[in-house]
Amino acid sequence: MNEIHLHNTLTNRLEPLSPLHPGEVRIYTCGPTVYAFAHIGNFRTFVFQDILRRFLRYRGYRVLQVMNVTDVDDRIIQNAAAAGIGIRDYTEKYIQAFLEDTDALHIELPEELVRATDHIEDMVTLIERLQKKSLTYTSDGSIYFRISQFPAYGKLSKIDVAGMQAGARVDVDQYEKDDARDFALWKAPKPGEHFWDTRIGPGRPGWHIECSAMAMKYLGDTLDIHTGGVDLAFPHHENEIAQSEAATGHPFVRLWLHAEHLILEGQKMSKSLGNFYTLRDLFAKGHKPSTIRYLLLSVPYRRQLNFTEDGLTQARNSVERLRNFTARLKSAQFAEGSNPEIQARIEKAEADFDAGLADDINTAIALAAIFDLVRDVNTAMDRGTFRQQDAPRAVAAMEKFDGILALLADDDEEKLRKLGFGTSKPGLSVSQIETMIEERQAAKKRRDFKRSDEIRQQLADSGILLEDTKDGAIRWKRK
RNA sequence: GGCGCGGUCGCCAAGUGGUAAGGCAAAGGUCUGCAAAACCUUUAACGGCGGUUCAAUUCCGCCCCGCGCCUCCA
């Protein structure tokens, strides 16, 4: 097995993964800010980290992943106030929505999904540590990190901080800072705003401190991997490094992984352009969760993904091919025995799949390994060289792959229904479908094609597609 | 302007100093009562100009084009 290599933004190089604690990989992922529904760009990143964690476990690692939920920030405070409710009540809806969305996409929950507002004390403690080291200053009740005290600032994003003149840019917010580069650790409350009364004064945490405090609380001073979208590298992750390393004196993160952005039909996704999609928008347009997951994972994470209507069609058809193949393996009849060549072929596919993912989570290679196998095995089945005992072995391989890709389960309808989408008419039950198929077979046998076609049409109207196969078996699937 | 990603068949997208993966689509075929579905086969591609080299899509330089970050946006 190939050693796992991942691209580290810090060094701009592929580096081998060697966890600090043998056998366990500790990951921190920047999660959602729950002021609205997450958009599909967010899910590109979340699907990526899902593939990563699934692959690490496939390789036998224990995974300890922490994902934050930012449930306090300027927008949340404003929106909650506008709605006349507390921030906890305001964010609850979007946290639930996030959980539902991730479930629909088969994104596994991290071991720890933690809310910022449950960790105010940890943030206060971390800020105090920085204060003791004289790395902060207070201005109008807000506490800032003094970047000039952290010479390594900029090492992640390679941004030329010296060139950032104080005041050269529009002031970020209404707070007074000594230097434009400095960032808020703690923000003094504005009149009427939600705040916490703490040892460092009344206020609320800045955005960056949240991730440092929670990451180190659960994962230790040094994490193996930190993931997020490319846009977070600066300033968010840069600031995380500054705070954390200044406080502990240890390296904060060994491997920084950044997922490239998704663009929509060639354009940046933005509300003003009107091309801003949430998962639910796509479901409402009739797209399946598995289609979206496939499209999001089919492009390797460091490459921009152009999300298009055309791409969705291609993704849907690709998922179909994988599912059809698996269904054929499970239902078709084969001659007794086994074929050593098939066994070897399956092993090669497994090795290729694994090698692809080990190479910086190259999902395109991993998928190609599967599709190559699909074609070769289909050919063998057509030629009759595929044997009965090869089938369970091939099914096992597909399931192994799917432990990471999570595309094969035909549960799109179920997932959509949970979210209130999909067909309003109740779907036929499996037994109803099977009864109708039997009836159609009987009609065909007595050459009553009018009746058999009628049943076929009825099923089609209910979204059930029949496949008359060569060996006489009937397969069906939901459209 | 600084930093970064990218331009490979009609579309999506790997990869390599020497015969360019895979998927979708298309065309042909197999199967079938008809059809559909499924499956098989085939086709076709390295932005431009120079340079290094026996050999460049791959390395170097310049140019053109697209996208991102440089303001709490994944």
| A457-CA/B70-C1' distance, Å | 59
Q: Which residues of A428-441 are buried (b: 16+ CB within 10 A; e: fewer)?
A: beeeebeebbeebe
Give the number of other CB atoms < 10 A from CB of residue A317: 11
**What percent of chain A has a predicted confidence (pLDDT) above 90?**
71
pLDDT reported for residue A162: 59
| A170-CA/B39-C1' distance, Å | 62
A364 touches strand B (CB under 7 A): yes
A11 touches strand B (CB under 7 A): no
pLDDT digits (tens, 9 = 90+) for A181-234: 889 999 999 888 889 999 999 999 999 999 999 999 999 999 999 999 999 998
Positions on chain B within 7 A of a protein C-beta: 2-6, 11-15, 21-25, 31-41, 66-74
List of domains in chain A: 19-259 (3.40.50.620), 307-415 (1.20.120.640), 430-478 (no CATH)
pLDDT digits (tens, 9 = 90+) for A96-125: 999 999 999 999 999 999 999 999 999 999
User: Tokens in use for A263?
Assistant: 């663009």
Alpha carbons A52 and A255: distance in angstroms, whole number: 13
A118-138 mean pLDDT: 96
A21 touches strand B (CB under 7 A): no
| A304-CA/B64-C1' distance, Å | 21
pLDDT reported for residue A479: 76
| A310-CA/B27-C1' distance, Å | 21
A320 touches strand B (CB under 7 A): yes
pLDDT above 60: residue A166:
no
DSSP per residue over A215-247, as a string? HHHHH-SSEEEEEEEGGGIIIIIHHHHHHHHHH
